[in-house]
C-alpha cells in the first residue's frame, strides 16, 4: 500500500516535470506577447505552419496572406501607424525573399518592422549541401535592413526578440531581420527558466532630447527669415506629436507644405497650407524648416531649378544626425526625436512671436487660391468615360465627409493627381508609395490599416498598381475587412493607348482593354461594381463606405487621359540620339 502510494507520487512528479517544459514555438510567442506585439502578417509553410497555429491559439492575431510581399508591406505600415514594429512571418528561402522587398522598403521609409523568417538546417546550409529551401538568409538580409539577428538556442529567444524590437523602433526606425532556424522551434527547456529568459523591452524608443544650443540656433535662423516655409514629412506624422506640431506651425504663422504622407497633420484646407502653391514656396522661400522630411529626390535634393535662385537656409529636425548636410548645407541642424524637438522649439519661441512678413503670406495665399480656383471646375465634370479630375473630384468630397477614413493610394497618374486633389484632414490618414514610389503596397497597406485602426479604408489604385497585390482581395474578403478598392482603369500603365507597330504583341504599357476588375471581387464573395461616370462612382463608393463590406469598384477612365509617368516624366532618361 505504502509502496503504491510512493509510486503514484513519482508518476505525478514525472508528469509535472513534463508540464513544466516549454519550447521554441512558445517562447517566441510569449516574447512577442510580452512586448505587446499581438498581430502577425505572414504566409504559412515549413517550418512555421504550426507556429502560426499556436500563435493564433495563444491570442495573437495571425493574418494569413497570399504572398509574403503583401504581408510585409502590411507589417511595415502597421509599424508606421502604431510606432510598434509590425511583424511579418515567412518560410525559408523563397518566402523570405518575397518578404525581403518589404523589409528593405520599411528601412528606406523609416518604418519599424521585424521580418521573422524560418530558415533551414544551419549545418547543411553552411556546407551548401542542398537542404530544403537552402539559403544563407542572415547574410542576404543584412545589407537591406537596420539590423539582423539569428537565434540558435531557445534560451536566447527572449534576448533575440528584444534586440529586434529595440533595433526597429529606437533612433531612426527601420526594418530588422530575425532568423529562426527550424530546429529552434522544437527545442525544449525548463518552463520556469524559459519564462525568466524573456525580456520586456523597457522604453524601446527613448526620447532623444535636442541640444539647447541647436534649438537657439534654429530659432535665430527662423527669426531672420523674410519668406519662411515649414515642410512636414512623414517622420512628423510618425512621431504622433500632432498637437505640438500644429501649435508650432500656428504660433509661427509660417506657411507649411506637407509631404505626401505628412498630409493631414494640419488639414490641407488650413489657411497656412501651401500645398497648392508648392512651386512658389519652394522657389521663393529664404528659410526652410524641415520637420521629419529628408532632402531626397522628392524635394529635388534641396537644390536646382525647383528651389529657385534665392539663397536658402535650412533648419532640419531629424532623429538621425547623418541626415544633416546629406544634400545641401544645413544651417541649423536639430537632432533629436521630433516630439522633443518641436516641444523645445515651441518653448523657446516664448509668448510673443513675430508673425511672418505679410507680403510673403499674401504671395503664398493668392497663388494657392488662384491654383485651387483653376482646378475647381475640372473636378466637377461628369464625363463618361471619366477623366482623372472628374473621378477624383468625387473621391475628394467623400474623404471630406469621412475624414476618419484611411486613404491608400498608388499608381502614376492615379497617385500624383489624387495626392494633389484629395484633401486630408487628420494625421496618418494618407498612406502611399513612399520614398521609393513603389507599386504593390496597395492591398497590404489596406489590410493592415483596417486591422490596426478599425477605420474604413478607401484604396485608390491605378490598374497597374493594383495588379501587384490584387490577389489579396481574397484576404480582404476572408477577414471581412471594411476596404473599398477603387481601380482607376485606363487600360494600362500611364495610358491605355500605346500601339506596337511591328508585331501582334501588345505594347509594353497596355493591358486587356475593358477589363472588369470588379469580377475578381465577386469571385470571393465581395461586392464588385462597375462605374462609368463620376455620379456612378460616388454612389458606389458611398454605399461601400456605409456598408463596410469588402468592395471593388472598376472605375472606367479614358485610356487617353493620363500622361507618361504621371508628374515625374522628367526622370525618364533621354538619349542624345533621336528616338526611332
**Residues lying near ligand TPP in the complex (CB under 6 A):** 411-414, 437-440, 462-465, 488, 490, 493-494, 562, 566
Tell me how far, at minimum, the Cβ of 116 lies from ligand TPP, in Å: 23
Return the number of the residue (300 or 435) whose C-beta is nearest ligand TPP.
Answer: 435
165 alpha carbon, distance to own chain's centre: 18
Which of the stretches 143-151, 190-198, 461-469, 539-547 binds Mg ion when contact is defined by CB under 5 A? 461-469
Residue 244: partners with Cβ closer than 8 Å, 6 or more residues away: 339, 342, 343, 346
Over the range 61-75, which residues count as b (16 or more CB within 10 Å of their CB) and which as e?
Answer: ebbbbbbbbbbbbbb
Q: With CB cut-offs between 5 and 8 Å by kind, which of Mg ion, ligand TPP, none does residue 434 bind? A: none
Span from 273-281, 300-308, 379-387, 463-471 in contact with Mg ion (CB under 5 A): 463-471
Whole-number minimum distance, CB 571 to Mg ion, in Å?
A: 18
Segment holding 39, helix H or strand E:
strand 39-42
Instruction: Tell me how far, at minimum, the Cβ of 563 lies from ligand TPP, in Å.
Output: 8
Out of Mg ion, ligand TPP, none, what residue 437 binds, judged by CB under 5 to 8 A for its kind, is ligand TPP
Binding flag, residue 558, Mg ion (CB under 5 A): no
Neighbours of 26 (CB within 10 A): 21
Q: Please state the closest distance from residue 414 (CB atom) to ligand TPP, in A.
A: 4
- CA–CA separation, 209 and 339 (whole Å): 9
| Residue 262: contacted member of ligand TPP, Mg ion, none (CB under 5 to 8 Å, by partner type) | none
Indicate the residue among 284 and 490 with the shorter CB distance to Mg ion.
490
| Closest CB 69 distance from ligand TPP, rounded Å | 9
Q: CA 65 to CA 478: how far, in whole Å?
A: 10
Q: Which residue, 42 or 462, is less far from Mg ion as judged by CB?
A: 462
Q: Which of 445, 517 has the CB closer to Mg ion?
A: 517
Residues 6+ apart with CB under 8 A from 508: 493, 498
**Residues in CB range of 428: below 8 A, 6 or more apart:** 80, 81, 237, 238, 261, 264
User: Does residue 47 have a cis peptide bond before it, meaning omega lies within 30 degrees of 0?
Assistant: yes
Q: CB nearer to Mg ion: give 307 or 466.
A: 466
Instruction: Pick the closer one to ligand TPP by CB: 170 or 554.
Output: 554
Query: What single DSSP character describes residue 494?
Result: S
Contact flag: residue 566 with Mg ion (CB under 5 A): no
8 Å CB contact between 408 and 441: yes
30 binds Mg ion per the rule CB under 5 A = no
Does 462 contact Mg ion by CB under 5 A? Answer: yes
CB of 444 within 8 A of CB of 111?
no
Count of other CB atoms within 10 angstroms of residue 401: 10
**Residue with smaller CB distance to ligand TPP, 90 or 490:** 490
What is the nearest approach in angstroms of ligand TPP to the Cβ of residue 381?
Answer: 17
CA-based R_g, the chain, Å: 26
Find how far residue 148's CA is from the centre of its chain. Answer: 21
Minimum Å gap between C-beta 532 and ligand TPP is: 17
**Stretch in the footprint of Mg ion (CB under 5 A) among 67-75, 249-257, 279-287, 485-493:** 485-493
Q: Residue 42 or residue 462: which is nearer to ligand TPP going by CB?
A: 462
Sheet holding 287-291, edge to edge: 256-258, 228-232, 287-291, 313-318, 332-335
Q: Which is nearer to Mg ion, 268 or 558 (CB)?
A: 558
Dump the DSSP string for 278-340: HHHHHHH-SEEEEES---SGGGGGG-SGGG-SS--EEEEEES-GGGTTSSS--SEEEES-HHH
Query: In whole angstroms, how close is the CB of 572 to ligand TPP at the nearest point?
Result: 11
Q: DSSP state, 273?
A: B
Kindly state the smallest distance separating residue 385's Cβ from Mg ion, in Å.
Answer: 13
Pairing between β-strand 430-432 and β-strand 406-410 as defined by DSSP bridges: parallel
> Would you count residue 252 as binding Mg ion (CB under 5 A)?
no
Residue 229's binding partner among Mg ion, ligand TPP, none (Cβ under 5 to 8 angstroms by kind) is none
Alpha helices in 58-198 (DSSP H): 68-82, 93-109, 122-126, 137-141, 157-169, 182-186, 191-197
Q: Which residue sits closest to ligand TPP, CB atoms considered? A: 462
Between 462 and 550, CB nearer to ligand TPP: 462
Query: Least distance (Å) from Mg ion to the CB of residue 466?
Result: 9
Cβ–Cβ under 8 Å, residues 184 and 158: no
Residue 427: which of Mg ion, ligand TPP, none does it interact with, CB under 5 to 8 A by kind?
none
Are the C-beta atoms of 278 and 299 separated by less than 8 Å? no
Rounded Cα gap, residues 399 and 555, in angstroms: 17
Terminal alpha carbon distance of the chain = 102
Among 463, 474, 536, 558, binds Mg ion (CB under 5 A): 463
Q: Which is nearer to ligand TPP, 132 or 436 (CB)?
A: 436
Q: CA 445, CA 459: separation in Å to the nearest integer?
A: 9
The stretch among 2-10, 291-299, 340-348, 488-496 that binds Mg ion (CB under 5 A) is 488-496
Pick the piece of the chain touching Mg ion (CB under 5 A) from 250-258, 370-378, 454-462, 525-533.
454-462
User: Does the protein bind Mg ion through residue 95 (CB under 5 A)?
Assistant: no
Separation of CA 95 from chain center: 21
Q: By C-beta, is 85 or 562 nearer to ligand TPP?
A: 562
Which H, E and C letters describe 64-94, residue by residue?
Answer: ECCCHHHHHHHHHHHHHHHCCCEEEEECCHH
Single residue of 98, 137, 490, 554 touching Mg ion by CB under 5 A:
490
Q: Residue 108 CB, nearest distance to ligand TPP (Å)?
A: 13
Q: Which is nearer to Mg ion, 133 or 410 (CB)?
A: 410
Residue 397 CB, nearest distance to Mg ion (Å)? 23
Question: In the bound complex, what is the minimum distance in angstroms from residue 569's beta carbon to ligand TPP?
Answer: 11
Q: Which is nearer to ligand TPP, 412 or 553 (CB)?
A: 412
Q: How far is the CB of 318 from ligand TPP (least distance, A)?
A: 26
Q: How many residues bind Mg ion (CB under 5 A)?
A: 3
Interface residue list for Mg ion (CB under 5 A): 462-463, 490
Amino acid at each position: 500500500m505504502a509502496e503504491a502510494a510512493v509510486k503514484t507520487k513519482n508518476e505525478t512528479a514525472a508528469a509535472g516535470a513534463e508540464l513544466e517544459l516549454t519550447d521554441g514555438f512558445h517562447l517566441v510567442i510569449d516574447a512577442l506577447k510580452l512586448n505587446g506585439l499581438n498581430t502577425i502578417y505572414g504566409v504559412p509553410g515549413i517550418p512555421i505552419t504550426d507556429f502560426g497555429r499556436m500563435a493564433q491559439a495563444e491570442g495573437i492575431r495571425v493574418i494569413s496572406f497570399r504572398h509574403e510581399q503583401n504581408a510585409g508591406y502590411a507589417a511595415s505600415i502597421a509599424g508606421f501607424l502604431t510606432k510598434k514594429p509590425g511583424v511579418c512571418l515567412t518560410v525559408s528561402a523563397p518566402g523570405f525573399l518575397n518578404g525581403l522587398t518589404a523589409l528593405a522598403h520599411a528601412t528606406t521609409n523609416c518604418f519599424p518592422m521585424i521580418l521573422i523568417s524560418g530558415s533551414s538546417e544551419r549545418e547543411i546550409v553552411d556546407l551548401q549541401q542542398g537542404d530544403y529551401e537552402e539559403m544563407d538568409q542572415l547574410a542576404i538580409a543584412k545589407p537591406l535592413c537596420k539590423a539582423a539577428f539569428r537565434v540558435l538556442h531557445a534560451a536566447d529567444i527572449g534576448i533575440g526578440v528584444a534586440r529586434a524590437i529595440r533595433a526597429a523602433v529606437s533612433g531612426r526606425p527601420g526594418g530588422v531581420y530575425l532568423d529562426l532556424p527550424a530546429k529552434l522551434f522544437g527545442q525544449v527547456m525548463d518552463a520556469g527558466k524559459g519564462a525568466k529568459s524573456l525580456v520586456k523591452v523597457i522604453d524601446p524608443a527613448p526620447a532623444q532630447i535636442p541640444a539647447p544650443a541647436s534649438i537657439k540656433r534654429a530659432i535665430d535662423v527662423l527669426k531672420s527669415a523674410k519668406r519662411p516655409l515649414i515642410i512636414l514629412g512623414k517622420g512628423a506624422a510618425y512621431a504622433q506629436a500632432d498637437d505640438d506640431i500644429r501649435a508650432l506651425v500656428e504660433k509661427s504663422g509660417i506657411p507649411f507644405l506637407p509631404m505626401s504622407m505628412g498630409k493631414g497633420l494640419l488639414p490641407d484646407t488650413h489657411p497656412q497650407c501651401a500645398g497648392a502653391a508648392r512651386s512658389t514656396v519652394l522657389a521663393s522661400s529664404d528659410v526652410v524648416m524641415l520637420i521629419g522630411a529628408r532632402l531626397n529626390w522628392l524635394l529635388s535634393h534641396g537644390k536646382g531649378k525647383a528651389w529657385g535662385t534665392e539663397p536658402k537656409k535650412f533648419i532640419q529636425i531629424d532623429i538621425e544626425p547623418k541626415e544633416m548636410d546629406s544634400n545641401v548645407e544645413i544651417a541649423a541642424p536639430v537632432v533629436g526625436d521630433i516630439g522633443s524637438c518641436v516641444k523645445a522649439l515651441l518653448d523657446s519661441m516664448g509668448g510673443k512671436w513675430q508673425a511672418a512678413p505679410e507680403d510673403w503670406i499674401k504671395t503664398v495665399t493668392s497663388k494657392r487660391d488662384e491654383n485651387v480656383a483653376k482646378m475647381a471646375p475640372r473636378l466637377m465634370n461628369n464625363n463618361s468615360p471619366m477623366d482623372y479630375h472628374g473621378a477624383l473630384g468625387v473621391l475628394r468630397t467623400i474623404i471630406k465627409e469621412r475624414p476618419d477614413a484611411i486613404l491608400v493610394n498608388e499608381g502614376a497618374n492615379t497617385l500624383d493627381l489624387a495626392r494633389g486633389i484629395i484633401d486630408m484632414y487628420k494625421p496618418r490618414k494618407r498612406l502611399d508609395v513612399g520614398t521609393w514610389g513603389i507599386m504593390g503596397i496597395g492591398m497590404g497597406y489596406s489590410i493592415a490599416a483596417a486591422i490596426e485602426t478599425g477605420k474604413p479604408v478607401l484604396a485608390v489604385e491605378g490598374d497597374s498598381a493594383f495588379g501587384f497585390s490584387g490577389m489579396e482581395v481574397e484576404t480582404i474578403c476572408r477577414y471581412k475587412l471594411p476596404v473599398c478598392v477603387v481601380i482607376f482603369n485606363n487600360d494600362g500603365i500611364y495610358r491605355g493607348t500605346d500601339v506596337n507597330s511591328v508585331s501582334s504583341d501588345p505594347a509594353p504599357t497596355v493591358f486587356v482593354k475593358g477589363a472588369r476588375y470588379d469580377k475578381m471581387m465577386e469571385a470571393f464573395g465581395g461586392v464588385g461594381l462597375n462605374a462609368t461616370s463620376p455620379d456612378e462612382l460616388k454612389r458606389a463608393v458611398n454605399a461601400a463606405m456605409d456598408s463596410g463590406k469588402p468592395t471593388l469598384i472598376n472605375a472606367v477612365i479614358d485610356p487617353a487621359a493620363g500622361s507618361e509617368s504621371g508628374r515625374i516624366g522628367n526622370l525618364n532618361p533621354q538619349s542624345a540620339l533621336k528616338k526611332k
